[in-house]
Homo-oligomer: A and B are copies of this chain.
């Protein structure tokens, strides 16, 4: 029996951040982090192990932050939680007792009921180092890869693979556009354009009905009647929450099969917290449960849990997730935070939208100048910023974080009008056309 004060189950970003923040708030407690595998893969980095990184081994989370924070590592699979004994049981017979338990058991790639989807040429993006090493090898030995699912993982993967010489990449997406659950249609179209420029073939409004292996290749029967061939198929159709361990222990699970948590990330069982993909996430505006599974959201939840284990610190509550997200397609950044226009309208919110298009340098004749597009969604009544989308060159990488902060601070369209910003010819848009301000001003003219 290992006697921990604080036990974290799960070694992904949520688990690590929870453990590190538990340490910051509890200098003298014994903290143990348990994870299933010897090495922990960086989840967000997985799409980039095929070309930008020279091996899957380059995408490993270093254990230095655990060591630095005196967090003991247990490699093993937790199979049972006993809330009454305050003990977690592992598959190899080990037991770890706890005062406070943090579940960060994450998620797994979802399965789909496609006939043939379990075949040997069909892969998923599992956060499993050995599996990913094999997948990398298989991809590099392929001439044609089909990705089923045009969500952000599918899109990032397709973009990465498009950089491999001689490899043909296609995406099959059942909805009308790639990334359409994340961005508004106008922005999703720009993303698709970039993908196509990178050489990715996109089949939208298309369902894969069957996958069959013939003569060493995969044949995908599409709902359009067409059939496509591939050396390798990657399923990227969403995630399934790992909540079995919690459920078996009588911990309440919610709408999306995620672990129910309060604003301090406490589960329904005393002294047990849950963070990251395995915990239910509430939307910042509506309070509804939303299936947001992002490392950044996980990290925010983990910091809240880490600070509230032994005593609630009132300021550290979870206000709900904005689902802030950014990606990079063929050198162009796509970012979103809060509500898109389409989601706001679906929710029945009375909004005004302001957009702005400008150059990221001034004068625009400077080398490397690109176009920035900003789209802001405000509440018509209060003028509060409710959502933002940004497209542009690498120099706008952090712009979506500016906007996320603006939403969290409940900034209004009037605040933007007097916003003080910093501009530079080589770094930003001109002060005369800075897009956060001009987009807000466009919205303002529609409110009047």
Using CB atoms and an 8 Å cutoff, list the residues of chain A in contact with chain B. 13, 16-17, 20, 24, 42, 44-45, 47-48, 52-54, 58-61, 65, 294-300, 303-304, 307, 315-319, 321-322, 324-328, 333, 335, 337, 362-363, 365-367, 394-402, 404-406, 408-409, 411, 414-415, 417-428, 430-434, 436-437, 441, 445
Structural contact, B366 and A53, CB atoms closer than 8 A: yes
CB distance from A177 to the nearest CB of B (A): 20
- Whether A324 and B432, one on each chain, are in contact in the complex, defined by CB atoms closer than 8 angstroms, is no
**Distance A297 CA – B295 CA, assembled complex (angstroms):** 36
Q: 3 tightest CB-CB pairs across the interface, nearest first?
A: A324-B422, A299-B431, A409-B409
Assembled-state Cα–Cα distance A276/B441 (Å): 20
- A426 (CB) vs chain B CBs: closest residue: B328
A307's contact among B325, B417, B427, B433, by CB below 8 Å, is which? B417
Q: Which of B326, B398, B421, B441 contacts A24 (CB 8 A)?
A: B441
Per DSSP, chain A at the interface is mixed
A427 touches B53 (CB 8 A): no
Given contacts A48-B426, A52-B367, A427-B397, contact A300 B42 (CB under 8 A): no
Query: Would A422 and B401 be within 8 Å (CB), given that A53-B365, A414-B315 are in contact?
Result: yes
Chain B neighbourhood of A362, CB < 8 A: 42, 44-45
Interfacial chain B residues near A44, Cβ < 8 Å: 362, 423-425, 431
Task: Give Cα A313–Cα B391 distance, bound, in whole angstroms.
Answer: 32
- State the copy count for this chain: 2
Known: A397-B428, A398-B398, A434-B299. A335 touches B404 (CB 8 A): no
Most chain B CB atoms below 10 A, which of A397, A400, A409: A397
Given contacts A45-B362, A58-B365, contact A326 B424 (CB under 8 A): yes
Which has the most chain B C-beta neighbours within 10 Å: A58, A303, A415?
A303
Instruction: State A344–B366 Cα separation when bound (angstroms).
Output: 36
Closest to A399 in B: B398
In the complex, the chain B residue whose C-beta lies closest to that of A51 is: B367
Interchain CB contact under 8 A, B13 and A316: no
Q: Quick check: A411 and B409 within 8 Å, CB to CB?
A: yes
Inter-chain contact A327/B363, CB cutoff 8 Å = no
Closest Cβ–Cβ distance, residue A133 to chain B (whole Å): 15
Tell which of B321, B365, B419, B428 touches A398, judged by Cβ atoms closer than 8 Å: B428
Q: Is the CB of B422 within 8 A of A325?
A: yes
Alpha-carbon separation in the docked complex, A402 to B404 (Å) = 9
Contacting residues, chain B, for A65 (C-beta < 8 A): 432-433
Please determine whether B17 and A432 come into contact, CB atoms closer than 8 angstroms: yes
25 contacts between A and B (CB under 8 A): A13-B430, A13-B431, A20-B432, A42-B425, A44-B362, A48-B425, A59-B365, A65-B433, A295-B423, A297-B420, A298-B431, A299-B423, A300-B420, A303-B437, A304-B418, A316-B418, A321-B420, A324-B422, A327-B427, A335-B422, A397-B397, A397-B424, A405-B411, A408-B420, A409-B409
